[in-house]
Structure 1
Amino acid sequence: MRKWIFISLLILGCEASLLAQQAVLKGRVIEAVSNDPMPFVNVIVSGTSVGAVTDDGGNFQINGLKPGFVRVQASFIGYHSALSSEIEISNAKAAFVEIRMEKRDAEIEEVTVSVSPFRKTEESPVSLKTIGIAEIEKSPGANRDISKVIQSYAGVLSSPSFRNDIIIRGGGPSESRFYLDGVEVPNINHFATQGASGGAVGILNADLIREVNYYSGAFPSDRGNALSGVFEFAQVDGNADKMKFKGSLGASEVSATVDGPLSDKTTFIVSARRSYLKFLFTALKLPFLPTFNDMQFKVKTRFDAKNELTFIGLGAIDQNELNLDIKNPDDQQKYILSQLPTNNQWSYTLGAVYKHFREKSYQTMVVSRSQLSNTATKYFDNDETSPNNKILDYTSQEAENKIRFENNMRMDGFKANIGANIDFVRYSNATLQKRFYDGNIQNVNYDTKLNLMKYGLFGQISHEFLAERLTLSAGFRMDANNYSSGMNNPLKQFSPRASASYQLSPEWSLNLNSGRYFQLPAYTTLGYQQNNQFVNKDNLKYISVDHFIGGLEFKPATAMQFSLEGFLKNYRDYPFSVNDQISLANKGADYGVIGDEEVTSTSKGRAFGAEFQARISSAKGYNLNLSYTLVRSEFQDGTGKYIVSAWDSKQILSLTGSAALKKGWQVGTRFRFVGGLPYTPYDLNRSSLISAWNLTGGPYLDYSQLNTKRFGVFHQLDVRVDKAYYLKNMTLKFYLDIQNLYNFQAQSTDIVVRETDANGNFLTTDNGTRYALRSVKNPSGTVLPTIGVQVEF
């Protein structure tokens, strides 16, 4: 009680000491291609008449602003009007923003001051969404986890499993790629599923993120190896004036962020987080005890106006233990303890991005290294007293060294980008496991060491016609590697793409895109061995998909956008499981590993549907994001017949809204509705065999009935309340986030456990060859309130 009284007095004292609006915003306007400073540019804070004019060095300063999230508009004759990314300003420290402006191809009579926050590029006039930092910070139900914020956007499946799988427009969870300041990052989630995109909690710290560009199609040619999604995360620069500190206490972790200048030309920002879930889950008597740690940094040096170098880093350490001290565990606890292994995982990405600017072009060189280490051990019934009880011993590492060069040019109204990349990969895997197929036990015992070289060439060119009303763009990629003779010819992976956008009126535009995209199967599949042989080497091909996208866009106001898109995706050469007789497109949204099995590149699939999205982003703090997706997703079974995939949700609805109130208050809500997903029932006849059950400690799916069942619909309401105190020397923030407000219970796969007698002995049938099994309903969902605190000074 005394603690709550102290906190209340502190809040009331802070309220009484609030100062007048004294926030300061500094910035610089530069030419997008040459990086030269732009003097005499008009800049205003979006939604206000407050502004300034840049000096000879392109710098500006605006004083006396109201603290909060703002954008800045810049306008200059002969250039496209520009709008900055969102930035938070406060009384405690001056904030800094950089704005890049591009030349116009055609002469115009007057400068257009208003500019929309909803971005569209020549290469990607469709299927591109930009997510600002305010939305990431205050998204209801997301707890500043970027992977969960993404689930509010059109085409992204929001599953009731509370995982961060990235499933877009009916594609599988392994079909997306992620870039951090231009550096490819293989993993963005803790406890990642190796060979896919999912995990439990996002690694990226929102303190360092400036904005996110999300592509669900129309991928730029310099972003390869993706079938369904590309995510570009842009980080903030460190404060150039003085040191800053920010501490946060969130739903599952405590974090600290420090940034500031290292010299006149160099800034840095670094953060570290550690979870306290292990202590919380122990107190709640949950059967698993996870602990995660992560670190993220950025160091940027501007040598001069024409040369700059950025170093970035991202790393995570994850550990999962089993809570074997639970007395008299219930059925759910028994089931989880029998299924989950102990797991240790760590990953990191280090990258350097060098940019050199010329008058009409700039060159980018990206060098990076990423590594993932994943180990898992499981003993039958968690009995480690005998080596014979070990049913899983898994150790794997993936290391990638990447080099990418790009040359961006502007020539006589044409925008062009050409480049190349080369990757050196080392993959190792030591697996000891027994698997049960068709009544037989298969010994999986191999030690792989795979060295791989991948390379690619790409180019894209764009131009505006008819006084900027028509924009056309065309590009290509070619990728290859030395894994096998079937993959070493880049012409077999020729990936063309084309986009067009026509402005029907100032408010309406018609947008089109078509492209063919390729993705290399997971390293777990390339490196799988039997009898010391790469069994998939002669059968594997690059996975390919053809995209056809068309849409209408309506912008009745600068801060309002309505879009309608139709899409069709045709897949070829998807890996097909030889033993399970299903496409791997149906796998991957679970913990563990995907792809470590014998496959053939023979599966075909298709996904099609339509998306509607309405967005309002008012400078006064009112925001609305409504998305609705109709989607069908189908892949072939072993007979070549198309059946619904595991991601055939039929419809996805997400409505997120927030409003900034007086005195630093903000409220927000998010409602999600997802059609029931297909699922595969258990093969209880196979599972009851003692010889089969003892190999996994759990039941087996009946793939002869693949996705023949369907869960009920899933829906959930999340709400959030924020309160910010912008004081003279610090900023204090508090939030209350409540997930699943009305306690919806989502349907999930039943739990299957072994029957026991009064003494705890397992019951058997058929002369002791089978266990007696029992199915238990397993609804999921609970009201989950979270209180968060942030301090910045």
Structure 2
Amino acid sequence: MILNIIHRFSSKSVVNLCKTFVMKVIITLYLTLFVFLTFAQNGTIKGVVKDEKNNEPLPFTNIIISGTQIGSTSDFEGNFIITGVPVGFVRLQATSVGYNPYLSEEFQVTNSNETYIEIYLTQKTTTLSTVTITNQIFAKNIESPVAMQSIGLSEIEKNPGGNRDISKVVQSFPGVGQTPVQRNDLIVRGGGANENRFFLDGIEFPNLNHFATQGASGGPASIVNADFLREVDFYTGSFQVNHGNAMSSVLNMSLITPNKDKSEKRIVLGASDFGLSFNGPLTEKSGLLFSYRRSYLQFLFQALGLPFLPTYDDYMLKYRMTIGEKNQLSIISIGALDKNRLNLERNETEEQRYILSYLPETDQWNYTFGIVYRHFRENGFDNYIVSRNMFRNKSYKYQDNIEADSLKVQDYSSDEIENKFRFERINFLNSWRLMTGVSAEYAKYYNSTYQKIFLNGNSTLLDYDSSLDFYKFGFFSQISGKILKERLGVTLGFRLDGNTYSDEMLNPLNQISPRLSLSYGLNERWYLNGSIGHYKQLPAYTTLGYSESGVLVNKANDLKYIGVTHYIAGIEFLPNDESKITLEGFYKDYGHYPVSLRDSVSLANKGGDFGVVGDEPVESVGEGRAYGFEVLYRRKIIDKMTMLVTYTFVRSEFTGFDNEYIASAWDARNIVNVLVSRKFKRNWTFGLKWKYSGGSPYTPYDEYTSSLVQAWNIQGRPYLNYSAYNSERLSSFHQLDVRIDKEYFFDKWSLNIYMDVQNFYNFQYEGQDNLIPATDNSGNNIIVNPLDPAELQRYEMKTLENVGGSIVPTLGIIVEF
């Protein structure tokens, strides 16, 4: 991340100096550590085996390390211990009479700490199956047989170019758009940046990234610390009914269980931050996960003379307590604090001055706090989930960065607060799984806006305060199981949503969301899969709460839920237990998408830049379609090799008021990913990732409006020509990332050093050139008609080339003890 920003906003000499320094540090560390003896140590795994439906312990269960003969058997209380486990990533296989075979998610074993894992087995219900159950790493999920990928820990930790950032890791998977700029916008199957939802151990949190774009999902770096991730389920369709308000993707992240007997500490020095984490017991029945990270970008940026100084902090917490044999309590919290300040002393170059002319200073913070209480019954369990999240966003800007009231162009402050309750009841009915539940939510939104804009040839002031609070409610039910001698997996569900924002939204029958998924096993290796579902999403709070003269404009405009119907079909082939090949086609049909009354552009196209999206008058008249197909080849040999090859063809089009379909900002058409990671002897790992994306559409500038002195002084950057919206297209983008890891295991601690090199062959991509005023020898903007009235005066304009791309080396150090 650091060097990408450095390259875009500083001289090549500074970039080369930084690269040289990083390389010297890397070489010195490797040569120093080479003299140490790397011990061939083994680790220890402790855990417990229980029945999934009632949490009762399962004695006499056989547990082995997958691919080895190392194992153990559980005792009368279901506990087990395995010693002599080779260090590295492993999976456990568990078998017990009367239960289906189990293959765990992967996890890492080190010699310095004990690893704790909980295993839940499902009861066998029939012996009539003609489809053989294997130890397939990529297990079938009948509830989401298409458009879902489970991402393991090694794929997160060792992803080339990913820097242990889950927002970047998912970009390697099919259907996810690529972007050469340093942002983590989640663009899935041609949908908008605001169509995604994020969950942490069942608790929804609204912001995945630091310096978030309010009303969307983007930002430069994830707030989720990978230290505690167990597994990530990434849905690009066939959403579960308890995950509402999503149209393009759901990122469901599961955290590890705190260690029971021994604490584990970790220190991480990453590309842009320093982190500390703790994992250990508090009492016999409880444990804690806690992490804190602090960025040091502001010090580096100050030393390198960049025109802005960002800094961020984040934390993540999980407290887990067992209450008797039938109850579990978890407390989850995650949050971030982000600040960006301008470095006004650095204004020597045109690019620096251009950035300073439009970039505001910002303050953001957010947190999510939630409690999950699980009670087991005889044939299932209940989940009670209570949470609160809050997001505060402030920004301000002055013309020429002179802090005077007469020169103020922006002063923005906004709060989004949600208090949520969700109840889920899961029942196991022979071979069927039934989930029913309800949700309730109290939401508050506050907005104070002072914003000068240039609209319809005139300078306009938006000066308003908006306050909004309302209730949301939902009901959902889903049943899944197998029929036809267990060849056909069936999942049928629906969801109803409503809220008190308006009479239209109050009626839940206007927001019914039915869905059906099917998976038919032709034999033990071939499957036909399909899914159809209709999903609803509430527009962003910035849109709900937009106000003029004390009136909620969009409520008066009959704002509606956005709707989309997914049609997905595919075929899946499992060549062996370590591989799978899939082909999936998809079609997404959108309705009631908000369209801006200012520029006639669908909000589906917005959200790819920093700032705020949706705070404008709209009408729910837009339609859209995104369609294409995906090819995936995935192979994984635990602790040896990972291979991922994907190709996505996608078209994405949305309408405005004229009902004409226009290519959206996410219409990349062709997306390719090739990722290979291999572990070698002496704990060396080498990985590479090559990615390609077709060029995205863009809108040319309105050169006349951009040149107007009044217009430019308000915005500090060029205006778009919306009459030619997305009529141009950028050239394609491709990049090779390389990563090398070396792990050292000592008596009581371990060390992982990695070098990650992004854009290995130094591809230079071309963005849309910037349009800026020309300046005289004194650095003042040149006015071509100074004698004309002020509203007609124009700057002389020039083009500033926008070319990016640089070799970006990063050094990372992870110490565990």
TM-score per shorter chain, which class?
A: over 0.9
8 Å Cα contact 1:76-1:111 kept in structure 2: no
Rounded to whole Å, the distance in 1 between the matches of 2:362 and 2:516 is 44
The answer to whether residue 268 in structure 2 is matched with residue 244 in structure 1 is: no
Question: What one-letter code is carried by the residue in structure 2 that aligns with 1:61?
Answer: I
Q: CA deviation at 1:110?
A: 12
Say whether the 8 Å CA contact 1:246–1:257 is kept in structure 2. yes
1:554-611 deviations in whole A, cap 9, x for unaligned? Answer: 0011110101100000000000000101101010011000000000000000000000
In the alignment, does 2:635 pair up with 1:616? yes
Match of 2:423 in 1: 405
The counterpart of 1:11, out of the listed 7, 10, 33, is 33
Q: Percent identity?
A: 46
Aligned residue for 2:554, secondary structure, equals coil
- Structure 1 segment 234-383 matched on structure 2, within 5 A: 234-328=254-348, 330-383=349-402
Q: Which amino acid aligns with 2:341?
A: E
1:8 positional shift? 5.2
> 1:414 deviation in Å?
1.8
Residue 163 of structure 1 corresponds to which residue in structure 2? 183
The alpha carbon displacement at 1:94 in A equals 1.4
Measure how far apart 1:333 and its partner are: 1.2
Residue 322 to residue 564, structure 1, CA distance change in 2 (3 Å): same
Cα offset, 1:629, TM superposition: 0.3
Query: d(CA) in 2 for partners of 1:464 and 1:425?
Result: 39
Map of 1:520-535 to 2, 5 A cutoff?
520-535=538-553
1:330-479 aligned within 5 A: 330-384=349-403, 386-479=404-497
Say which of 681, 685, 689 aligns to 1:666: 685
1:702 aligns with 2:724: no
Q: Which whole-Å CA distance do the structure 2 matches of 1:780 and 1:619 have between them?
A: 37
The whole-number CA distance in structure 2 between the counterparts of 1:114 and 1:640 is: 51
**Within 2, Cα distance between the matches of 1:472 and 1:450?**
41
Q: 1:312 to 1:4 in 2, by over 3 A?
A: closer
Q: Distance in 2 between matches of 1:244 and 1:47?
A: 27
Q: Do the aligned partners of 1:119 and 1:129 also contact (CA within 8 Å) in 2?
A: no
Match of 2:6 in 1: none
Residue 519 of structure 1 pairs with residue 541 of structure 2:
no
Does 2:199 align with 1:179? yes
Number of the residue aligned with 2:771: 752
- Structure 1 465/78 Cα, relative in aligned 2: closer, same or farther at 3 Å? farther
Q: Are 2:138 and 1:118 equivalent residues in the alignment?
A: yes
Alpha-carbon shift at residue 105 of structure 1 (Å): 2.8
d(CA) in 2 for partners of 1:568, 1:109: 33
Given the two structures, how large is their TM-score scaled by the length of structure 1?
0.98
The C-alpha deviation readout for 1:268-318, integer Å capped at 9, x for no partner, is 010000001111112222211100000111000011221000001101000
For 2:390 and 2:94, locate their aligned partners in 1 and report how far apart those are by CA, in whole Å: 41
**Letter matched to residue 613 of structure 2:** I
Provide the rounded CA distance (Å) in 1 between the counterparts of 2:90 and 2:441: 40
In structure 2, C-alpha distance between the alignment counterparts of 1:208 and 1:704, rounded to whole Å: 49
Q: Cα 1:754–1:132, aligned 2, differ >3 Å: closer, same or farther?
A: same
CA distance, structure 2, for counterparts of residue 600 and residue 464 of structure 1: 44
SS in 2 for 1:191: coil
1:84-99 to 2 correspondences below 5 Å:
84-99=104-119
Structure 2 CA distance for partners of 1:6 and 1:537, relative to 1, 3 Å: closer
Report which stretch shifted further, 330-339 or 639-648. Answer: 330-339
Matched residue, 1:489:
507
For residues 473-622 of structure 1, the aligned pairs below 5 Å read 473-538=491-556, 539-622=558-641
Which residue identity does 1:320 align to in structure 2? Answer: N
Q: Over residues 529-573 of structure 1, what are the superposed CA-to-partner deviations in whole Å (9 max), with x where a residue is unaligned?
A: 011100000320000000000010000111101011000000000
Maintained 8 Å contact 1:555/1:561 = yes
1:633 and 2:652 matched: yes
- Per-residue displacement from partner, 1:197-236 (whole Å, max 9, x unpaired)? 0111100001011110000000011100000000101011
Alignment of structure 1 residues 44-63 onto 2, 5 Å: 44-63=64-83
Distance 1:453 1:721 in 2: 51
Amino acid at match of 1:11: L
Q: Name the structure 1 match of 2:762.
A: 743
Q: Equivalent residue of 2:504, what SS?
A: coil
Distance in 1 of aligned mates of 2:521 and 2:362: 53
777, 785, 788: which one aligns with 2:809: 785
Is the CA contact (8 Å cut-off) linking 2:675 and 2:687 kept in structure 1?
yes
Aligned residues of 1:73 and 1:113 also touching (Cα < 8 A) = no
CA deviation vs aligned residue, 1:368-414 (integer Å, no higher than 9, x gap): 00000000000111111x21111000000001000000000011322
Does 3-12 or 184-193 show the bigger shift?
3-12
Pick from 116, 121, 128: which aligns with 1:101? 121
Q: Deviation string for 1:600-658 (max 9, x for gaps)? A: 00000000000011110102511101111000000013311111111000011011110
SS at match of 2:155: helix
Superposed CA offset, 1:766-793 (max 9, x none): 3451111111110111111011111100
* Residue among 19, 41, 49 paired with 1:21: 41
- How far the C-alpha of 1:7 sits from its partner, in A, is 4.1
Partner-residue secondary structure (3-state), 2:517? strand
From 185, 195, 212, the equivalent of 1:192 is: 212
Measure, in 2, the Cα distance between the counterparts of 1:672 and 1:555: 25
Structure 1 residue 6 displacement after superposition: 7.5
After alignment, is 730-739 or 434-443 more displaced? 434-443
Query: Aligned-pair distance for 1:49?
Result: 2.3
Structure 2 CA distance for aligned equivalents of residues 117 and 5 of structure 1: 37
* Higher alpha-carbon deviation: 673-682 or 771-780: 771-780
Once structures 1 and 2 are overlaid, which stretch shifts more, 232-241 or 664-673? 232-241
**Deviates most, 744-753 or 189-198:** 744-753
Per-residue CA deviations over 1:303-343 (Å, capped at 9, x if unaligned) read: 12210000011010000011111152x12111111111000
Q: State the alpha-carbon separation in 2 of the partners of residues 532 and 375 from structure 1.
A: 21
Mapped to 1, the partners of 2:564 and 2:806 lie a distance apart of: 39
CA distance in 2, matches of 1:166, 1:656: 19
**Compared CA separation, residues 543 and 237, structure 1 to 2 (3 A):** same
Structure 1: unaligned runs, 5 residues or longer? none
Aligned length: 789
Contact 2:199 2:251 in 1 (8 A): yes
2-side partners of 1:728 and 1:25: how far apart? 17
Q: Contact conserved, 2:26 with 2:811, CA < 8 A, in 1? A: no
The partner residue of 2:707 within 679, 688, 703 is 688
Q: For 2:661 and 2:771, locate their aligned partners in 1 and report how far apart those are by CA, in whole Å.
A: 29
What is residue 220 of structure 1 aligned with on the other side? 240
Letter in 2 for 1:51: G
Contact 1:77–1:111 (CA<8 Å) still a contact in 2? no
3-state DSSP of counterpart to 1:123: coil
Query: Residue type matched to 2:34 in 1?
Result: L
Preserved CA contact (<8 Å) 2:40 2:745: no
**1:142 and 2:166 aligned:** no
- Contact 2:89/2:639 (8 A) holds in 1: no
How far apart are the structure 1 equivalents of 2:379 and 2:497? 28
The superposition leaves residues 482-539 of structure 1 with CA deviations (integer Å, 9 ceiling, x where unpaired) of 0111111000001000011100011000001000000000000000001110000032
Distance 1:375 1:262 in 2: 38
